[in-house]
């Protein structure tokens, strides 16, 4: 992989959530730009000769003139973090593989949240943020190469995770998730353990906690409201789960982000 002599300029970091079936049309990367798309949820087809369906943890790398990902199954969607860079004068865009995997999903989501907050809310120096993004992606690429990682998206698992990601704010039961995937509860547990290394319940909790963390950092909604919107009718249960997940209370979490916002004014 080629390296830049000088780091490119970070132009944007954002989130994109497609409609069912994927984006209306792909975007084309501008001249002397490169764009990364990190799939956070859902499933999207790649660029293989015979398209392969890629899921959460897939990282797509696009050079100038190339099209972004866009197509999902009719019954699915994709949610991705995008980061776009512009090369400095005299610099050529480096060569990255078109796609690789970020194996630690929890770390991926945490990093995505941190970079979004740094770019949009804390107003940190874009050069610092861009350097962090590129360094972390290079690290994850090397991890991928060392372990020769491959992922095969199981269609029933995809339907189950899509259901959780779409219904996390509701009282979701394991029976509901299993029914959405057309499998028994015991088979559902086997799919999650084998492919994701966790239970369906753990996956649901992580989704709820990520949504709660984003709401606390980016809105002024009362904690009780955030709890309900993330699937917790009981605020005490929400606060207990939040502390266990983030190792700090919901109030402390919000205050930390509030301080980082006020520090730039």
CA distance 59 to 107: 14
89-124 pLDDT per residue, tens: 777 666 789 999 998 988 999 999 999 988 987 778
Fold of 155-262: Arc Repressor Mutant, subunit A (1.10.10)
CA distance 228 to 136: 34
**For residue 67, what is the DSSP state?**
B
144-195 pLDDT per residue, tens: 988 765 566 788 999 999 999 999 999 999 999 999 999 999 999 999 999 8
CB crowding 39-56: b at 16 or more within 10 Å, else e: bbbbbbbeeeeeeebbbb
Domain layout of the chain by residue ranges: 9-147, 155-262
CA distance 46 to 169: 30
242-254 pLDDT per residue, tens: 999 999 999 999 9
Return left, alpha or beta for 57; rule: phi > 0 is left, psi -120 to 50 is alpha, else beta.
left
Q: Phi, psi at residue 107, to the nearest 5°?
A: -65, -35
CATH 3.30.750.24, applies to 9-147? no
Same fold, 9-147 and 155-262: no
CA distance 249 to 254: 9
């Amino acid at each position: 992989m080629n390296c830049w002599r000088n780091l490119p300029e970070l132009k944007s970091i954002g989130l994109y959530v497609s409609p069912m079936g994927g984006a209306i049309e792909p975007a084309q990367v501008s001249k002397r730009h490169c764009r990364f798309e990190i799939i956070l949820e859902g499933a999207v087809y790649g660029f293989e000769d015979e398209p392969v369906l890629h899921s959460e943890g897939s990282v797509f790398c696009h050079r100038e003139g190339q099209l972004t990902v866009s197509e999902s199954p009719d019954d699915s969607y994709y949610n991705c973090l995008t980061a776009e860079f512009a090369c400095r004068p005299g610099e050529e865009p480096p060569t990255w593989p078109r796609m690789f995997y970020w194996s630690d999903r929890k770390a991926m989501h945490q990093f995505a949240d941190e970079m979004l907050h740094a770019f949009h809310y804390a107003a940190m120096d874009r050069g610092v943020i861009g350097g962090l993004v590129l360094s972390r992606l290079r690290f994850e690429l090397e991890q991928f190469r060392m372990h020769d990682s491959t992922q095969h998206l199981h269609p029933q698992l995809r339907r189950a995770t899509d259901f959780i990601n779409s219904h996390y704010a509701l009282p979701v039961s394991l029976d509901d998730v299993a029914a959405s995937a057309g499998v028994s509860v015991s088979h559902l547990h086997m799919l999650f353990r084998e492919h994701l290394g966790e239970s369906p319940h753990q996956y649901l909790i992580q989704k709820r906690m990520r949504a709660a963390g984003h709401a606390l950092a980016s809105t002024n909604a009362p904690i009780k409201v955030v709890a309900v919107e993330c699937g917790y009718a009981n605020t005490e249960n929400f606060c207990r789960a939040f502390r266990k997940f983030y190792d700090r209370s919901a109030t402390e979490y919000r205050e930390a982000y509030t301080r980082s916002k006020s520090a730039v004014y």
